[in-house]
């Protein structure tokens, strides 16, 4: 299925038909295979593209300049672009195209948990959220982001399967990410304060800046090492000699929220892990150089992707998960 077909399917949503909701569904927009997918709760009638008479691209916060200023203050888009955006009454198709290009240029994808649009700011009913969650899962599979930022505790809970207290999470800077559990890809999710309306724009901007400053996942530590959580063949000394040219004594650690699995390829079966909030995976943390990490990328092939995770020890590390 393509994104276009998915959005056409969403436009036939039974909830809006049953409620005779005249407002249009708000789709997602942005870069292909973005570095960040930004997920909010649901759109409201403040979005210009929710009008039944509107003709053009539909994505979150068209005509809502405050949101784009939060992204700019958080370091995700250009401040000059956000500064020159008009209020809703002066917003035109040129401004819509301008922010869409900013999303693409900065490798962002913007969407909502629920695509149904309402004339109020209350959360959607639980049955609507449950019914639309499958669409978001498919959207994630099609967009294939490197990481996800969940704006608000509700979005984080729906994606990661657990509650979070944002004030505690961001106390002292960003913590480890959690894998999303709805698409099967286990993409790292970081919670963030809601950026407008019922949320806190200043706290959202500060959290986004902290996220960018920490560069999750990290490019490396002050000691120049890259930490890799190995749960399969890379723990074996003979494989380490083949891949890295040396044996590496790893440190035992545990990855919570995942369980062991098997990846079946034409030549053989390989170890893999999949998201599972009730399980954990035991393995070894290997301290690698940047060159050795690149060698590990080549060894694992395109069947896997490298993701950043938080371990039970409190250490952040890379891990290979199936695509």
Token digits of residue 294: 């690149």
* Residue 171, pLDDT score: 72
Which pTM value belongs to this model? 0.68
Going through the chain in order, the beta strands assigned E by DSSP cover 29-30, 36-40, 108-112, 147-151, 178-179, 188-192, 226-230, 251-264, 269-288, 304-310, 316-322
Q: Are strands 147-151 and 36-40 parallel, antiparallel or unpaired?
A: parallel
* Residue 219, pLDDT score: 37
User: pLDDT truncated to tens, each residue of the chain (323 aa)?
Assistant: 799 999 999 999 999 999 999 999 999 999 988 989 999 999 999 999 999 999 999 999 999 999 999 999 999 998 888 988 999 999 999 999 999 999 998 889 999 999 999 988 888 999 999 999 999 999 999 999 989 999 999 999 999 998 988 888 887 656 667 888 888 888 899 999 999 876 789 999 999 988 876 644 443 444 568 899 999 999 999 999 999 999 998 999 998 888 999 888 777 788 899 888 788 999 999 999 888 988 998 888 888 888 878 788 877 889 998 87
* Residue 176, pLDDT score: 66
Phi, psi angles (nearest 5°) of residue 258: -140, 165
Token digits of residue 31: 């870069």
* Residue 210, pLDDT score: 82
Taking the C-alpha atoms of residue 12 and residue 293, their distance in angstroms, rounded to an integer, is 46
* Residue 173, pLDDT score: 59
* Residue 172, pLDDT score: 60
Find out whether 73 and 83 touch, Cβ atoms under 8 Å: no
Signed CA dihedral, 316, 181, 186, 134: sign only: negative
Token digits of residue 61: 């916060």
What domains sit in the chain, N to C, each tagged with a CATH number? 3-214 (3.40.470.10), 226-322 (3.10.490.10)
* Residue 220, pLDDT score: 40
Token digits of residue 305: 């992707």
Q: Are strands 316-322 and 304-310 parallel, antiparallel or unpaired?
A: antiparallel
Q: Which residue do the tokens 């276009």 mark?
A: 4
Going through 101-154 in order, the beta strands assigned E by DSSP cover 108-112, 147-151
């Amino acid at each position: 299925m393509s994104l276009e077909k998915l959005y056409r399917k969403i436009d036939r949503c039974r909830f809006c038909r049953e409620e005779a909701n005249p407002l249009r569904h708000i789709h997602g927009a942005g870069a292909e295979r973005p570095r960040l997918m930004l997920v909010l709760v649901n759109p409201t009638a403040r979005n210009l593209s929710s009008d039944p008479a509107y003709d053009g691209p539909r994505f979150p916060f068209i005509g809502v300049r405050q949101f784009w200023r939060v992204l700019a203050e958080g370091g995700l888009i250009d401040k000059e672009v956000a500064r020159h955006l008009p209020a809703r009454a002066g917003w035109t198709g040129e401004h819509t195209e301008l922010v869409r290009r900013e999303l693409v240029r900065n490798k962002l994808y913007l969407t909502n948990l629920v695509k149904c649009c309402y004339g109020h700011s209350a959360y959607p009913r639980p049955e609507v959220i449950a019914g639309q969650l499958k669409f978001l899962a498919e959207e994630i599979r099609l967009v294939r982001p490197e990481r996800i930022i969940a704006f608000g505790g509700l979005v984080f809970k729906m994606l990661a399967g657990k509650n979070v207290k944002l004030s505690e999470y961001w106390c002292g800077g960003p913590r480890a990410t959690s894998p999303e559990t709805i698409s099967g890809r286990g993409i790292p999710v970081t919670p963030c304060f809601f950026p407008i309306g019922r949320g806190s724009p200043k706290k959202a901007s500060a959290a986004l800046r902290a996220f960018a400053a920490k560069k999750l996942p990290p490019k490396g530590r002050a000691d120049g090492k890259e930490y890799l959580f190995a749960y399969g063949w890379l723990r074996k000394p003979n494989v380490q000699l083949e891949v890295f040219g040396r044996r590496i004594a790893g440190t035992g650690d545990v990855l919570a929220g995942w369980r062991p699995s098997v990846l079946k390829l034409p030549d053989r079966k390989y170890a893999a892990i999949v998201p599972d909030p009730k399980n954990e995976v035991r393995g070894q943390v290997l301290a690698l150089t940047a060159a050795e990490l690149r060698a590990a990328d080549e060894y694992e092939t395109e069947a896997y992707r490298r993701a950043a995770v938080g371990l039970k020890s409190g250490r952040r590390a890379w891990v290979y998960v199936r695509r």
